[in-house]
Structure 1
């Protein structure tokens, strides 16, 4: 018989002060873990055993229900090497008021998902449930009615240790959790894992903030901002599941490698229905085959381009010179030009989408005809109005006054026709800026054009001016500091009626258009009311490493607070002078003797030579986005792709080359800051050229 998770603490053999405590209370916890796994297995088997043959009206409903059942089975998977629960809360007594969830002496095991026994009694409580919140926020100053908080230690999926904190005992001094510290510093191999067992109070406050508000999280390296953002999605799906099931959620990352790195976090928490994409994925209406010079990309990414596009689009609207004559049977109905002009101006004044106005115009003309019919004694109905709106004369008039516009063709015309661009960019872009973005050679068609990523964003903006973009319930935007204003607008269109979680670090902005302030970013996103939070406690990067990297902050982001590492161990840190790539490869071999993953980060131009040196030395390596294994734990990372990734140990090759690989020194120093802060346990810097002076 399974042991319920809410056994009264007074009756528990290992509760504080309980007589007859067993010599090994760990055995009781292991027993509960085994029973909980069995209960989860039974829950999954119950779902798998459902017979839906006779419960649906048609094959479409059957397909939908089958897919829902399949998703539920996947969500109930028991990951053998992942703890089913990681903590326990013993309530002192039944709290009053808002905290009435906890009855007297109740005990709750806190885990990644809810598990109940055959009778429906909870054995594990979802970490997102209100009753679980004290596990993250309770302290000696505010015990939140908790007598004991217990943390569990695991090796693989086996429970191996526990650690108690008696929050209600005034005589017991506060302790630093060794299990918590060990979990934070545990070596990792493979993709990013969840941090649900180690969420800190300031992180939990962000995770549990409401769905209606937009939150912007500024966080330096290792502060857990990405994990906080993903756990916030999981929490919102728990607290607002029905609403978000209708409206949808989306996680946006900087590149495919990053998305691959984080893709297992939400499934580990039982959430499978969250789409992941890059900004380029969102705006992929044309094939991107070209690239822009930095100066052109900066202008194209400027928010002023939205006004240029709006002007160019609405320049297609023209006032009528002739009346519309509609023939119905033996009668001719005439709508004069001045009345048509009034209809056009009314639609312009309403400030609705270009396409919506174009669809409304024939109905407005038809209504004017119906008014004349009624005055003549006829009694037309809606069918007559629809027929008039489809009349050939009305269609021709609408085509002349409010023609259809293809967004890609509109952008192509702006980029290739100097006069057209000059007309609509007057007073917005100066002549040099116009010259910068204009294509040197004419292009015959949209299909033959070599569109750049920035061009695709312009086309997306134009498409939204014509037809409203579908809005989601919640969007998470990670590594946001590298987005242009126009890219922010593209993301903002996807959550106009929803909210957003914006994650980034101003010090890690490495694009020429990098974000200057979060207030400005939120304005471009359309979320000016968003709340900005700052995370400054570093849980990932060792003390010595973050201290070394922070020497760059006065030169790249003077207003930011340096990250303060809360790691118990300072970590491994070494700067080595080398003569040739073979010595850098030898440093990698040395670090591979340790447990965990190793990343060799280098300036993009130096990657081919290092790849040859690794192969010559017989060291297997992976590219970013490929999952590390026990056998292959070294990843060769171009500096341009290092952002957002992390490795237990990092060898950073030639820092000055990383700086020199960027268009300007400030961007290069920011790229170097990113590369220096990818290590979780240790960093070795190898160099033959002098180090950048900013590193002291």
Structure 2
């Protein structure tokens, strides 16, 4: 363990760079602690690997489960060679005071110094070498300040390169202050570190307002409104990691899920949770959640808007319940030599009671035979017999009872229900008369009716309708926690589909109303949360930007009055003169201008993203290849050699690059069905840069950017 002589030799906030280590060099001792921590982690892993599971379990099923758990534990103890085990250190006031009084570090106060890292590491004696960043004792690393030190005397941050500690920076929190906090240079360097490959964790740079969201309780749903670069995606992922740490057993039973807007986005973020030691969190898009049929068609925007409207839930409910009939003849059950008669009106009352309870269609269908059987048992008892539960179950399975139930409460296939609803004008009108207009019904109907489920050409919105119908028939299993990213682009029916997956759990909803680019984009969070089934959710707003330079976000924010007048502008903490360039080319020279801008961007370290309107993607790709540049597609950035990615503007959401070249902003706007959607798409494209943005255009810029 380190001694109290490892106190800063220079003023707080000054980074110490690596030099030639000496016995009195604090940096050398920190490296020694890192080496010792890595050795302890190897020992922890070896202990697990050496476990002898022979004859531990009673059967092969338990053995398989135990072996799987052991393998997960071994994987979670992997040492990532490119990442140090800890990124910070906390020295508490109690230890410093004792050291000053005694002049020595020996004694009972050594445990008051904590190294904060991505996972817990202990030595062979069980004493902690590294404390998990999610532990309560680690929280002051993110929350302590000079005005509220939380008993912390000194906070040390480490600068790292290639898995080794190369610098450290101390902050004395006992000096008090006038309310202003110093900016950590190492923290800013970490934020600005070049982005090559997949998204990385932000455990070393989490800010106080982000930490409060990350550590919010499991029982409540949190909605995070965050502009570009405020870290909302990272906050959501780290919140999952925290909840799994704080509620491991509960979430191990109920499960967790991260929902992203597309597969490219999911590939980009897929390494964040494994880097934090969490290997079991499932990731999906809304489309994969509702993939009950093959999607081969695309709806026009007006049709998709109607299909995504929350009123469709009631239309489906009415259409499903219309299959329930009423008996016209009494039911006769034969038991031996006795015949038991249940009048039709009595069965009708049972049906009406089940409908009034509004339980799932399938559950009510299963309950009806038991109710009929119970009525038969009452008649047996009145006749002097003494039937038991076995008799009731036998009656419920009687051929006559089963035939009646099939007639009055027939099984319904959810996909066939949607086929009929979208293909039969009379059926649709009968169940939407007071809900939809004639124009909306016309938009809903398929151009031609399909004969069945297999012949239908399903759209993404149709798949969501089938998912709603399936839930009306049989309840969708609920998870313990769901993270929903880019939530502003979901339709009300998509929100309902997500809400079904966390109906008994909680959710973290992430989004930015200014970045809504679908025709059905969310206008306000309270409405969206109501469709999700979480109207009580707490809405947090992140307005401090860490990713996008101040000059770039200020330029993009010129669009806010037109696309989201109620939102506050993001205030970036990073000032980077020269980070924004506007280049207008001669007529016909747009593609050469884009190639030249990419060449310039690639002279810098890090990743480059070339964003263009979707109709220009293929021509741009040919121009890049002709110039000797081989661009990757979105999602392939996970490759270690990724430098240049060609991104259709429609897929840019959620991605980030060190340098962005944006081609023809006016074309980005024009590629969308409405100007409002186009301006929101442009806002997304303008805010993908971490270090620099070059806008190359041949035509006029949208007038909103001139404000």
TM over 0.5: yes
Instruction: Identify which of 525, 528, 533 aligns with 1:521.
Output: 528
Deviation at 1:381, TM superposition (A): 1.3
1:147 and 2:153 equivalent?
yes
> Could you tell me the TM-score, scaled by structure 2's length?
0.94
| Counterpart secondary structure, 1:555 | helix
Deviation at 1:49, TM superposition (A): 1.2
Correspondences of 1:352-501 after superposition (within 5 Å): 352-501=359-508
> In 1, are the aligned partners of 2:146 and 2:177 still within 8 Å (CA)?
no
Distance 2:641 2:503 in 1: 46
CA pair 168-22 structure 1, distance change in 2 beyond 3 A: farther
Instruction: Identify which of 6, 23, 33 aligns with 1:14.
Output: 6
CA pair 681-560 structure 1, distance change in 2 beyond 3 A: same
Q: Deviations over 1:99-154 (max 9, x none)?
A: xxx96871000000000001100000000000000000001111000000000000
Distance 2:676 2:350 in 1: 54
| Counterpart secondary structure, 2:637 | coil
Distance 1:339 1:280 in 2: 44
Deviation at 1:627, TM superposition (A): 2.6
> In 1, are the aligned partners of 2:197 and 2:640 still within 8 Å (CA)?
no
Distance 2:578 2:528 in 1: 35
> In 2, are the aligned partners of 1:475 and 1:495 still within 8 Å (CA)?
yes
| Counterpart secondary structure, 1:128 | coil
| Counterpart secondary structure, 2:6 | coil
1:159 and 2:168 equivalent?
no
Distance 1:171 1:545 in 2: 32
Deviation at 1:57, TM superposition (A): 1.2
1:288 and 2:289 equivalent?
no
Distance 1:349 1:175 in 2: 63
Q: Which residue of 2 aligns with 1:654?
A: 664
Distance 2:365 2:80 in 1: 54
Deviation at 1:387, TM superposition (A): 1.0
Distance 2:703 2:567 in 1: 20
Q: Which residue of 1 aligns with 2:19?
A: none
Instruction: Identify which of 315, 334, 337 aligns with 2:344.
Output: 337
1:129 and 2:135 equivalent?
yes
Q: Which residue of 1 aligns with 2:623?
A: 613
Distance 1:418 1:175 in 2: 67
Equivalences, count: 680
Distance 1:76 1:632 in 2: 28
Distance 2:640 2:400 in 1: 73
Correspondences of 1:635-646 after superposition (within 5 Å): 635-646=645-656
Q: Which residue of 2 aligns with 1:66?
A: 67
Distance 1:315 1:275 in 2: 37
| Counterpart secondary structure, 1:461 | helix
CA pair 307-571 structure 1, distance change in 2 beyond 3 A: farther
> In 1, are the aligned partners of 2:123 and 2:129 still within 8 Å (CA)?
yes
1:673 and 2:674 equivalent?
no
Deviation at 1:379, TM superposition (A): 1.2
CA pair 454-619 structure 1, distance change in 2 beyond 3 A: same
> In 2, are the aligned partners of 1:542 and 1:571 still within 8 Å (CA)?
no
Deviation at 1:632, TM superposition (A): 3.8
Correspondences of 1:526-605 after superposition (within 5 Å): 526-570=533-577, 572-578=579-585, 579-605=589-615
CA pair 261-60 structure 1, distance change in 2 beyond 3 A: same
Q: Which residue of 2 aligns with 1:119?
A: 125
TM-align CA RMSD: 1.6
Which runs of no fewer than 5 residues in structure 2 stay unpaired? 11-21, 97-107
Instruction: Identify which of 155, 179, 194 aligns with 1:187.
Output: 194
Q: Which residue of 2 aligns with 1:99?
A: none
Distance 2:359 2:29 in 1: 65
Q: Deviations over 1:558-599 (max 9, x none)?
A: 000010000143462101012230221111011111100000
Deviation at 1:170, TM superposition (A): 3.4
CA pair 304-73 structure 1, distance change in 2 beyond 3 A: same
Distance 1:144 1:17 in 2: 23
| Counterpart secondary structure, 2:197 | coil
CA pair 632-499 structure 1, distance change in 2 beyond 3 A: closer
Instruction: Identify which of 660, 668, 673 aligns with 1:663.
Output: 673
> In 1, are the aligned partners of 2:196 and 2:642 still within 8 Å (CA)?
no
> Could you tell me the TM-score, scaled by structure 1's length?
0.96
1:320 and 2:327 equivalent?
yes
Q: Which residue of 1 aligns with 2:114?
A: 108
Deviation at 1:396, TM superposition (A): 1.1
Distance 2:65 2:39 in 1: 29
Q: Which residue of 2 aligns with 1:98?
A: none
Deviation at 1:645, TM superposition (A): 0.3
1:509 and 2:501 equivalent?
no
Distance 1:654 1:167 in 2: 49
> In 1, are the aligned partners of 2:145 and 2:181 still within 8 Å (CA)?
no
Q: Which residue of 2 aligns with 1:80?
A: 81
Distance 2:8 2:551 in 1: 40
Instruction: Identify which of 286, 303, 306 aligns with 1:279.
Output: 286
> In 1, are the aligned partners of 2:551 and 2:576 still within 8 Å (CA)?
no
Correspondences of 1:619-634 after superposition (within 5 Å): 619-629=629-639, 631-634=641-644
Distance 2:387 2:544 in 1: 71
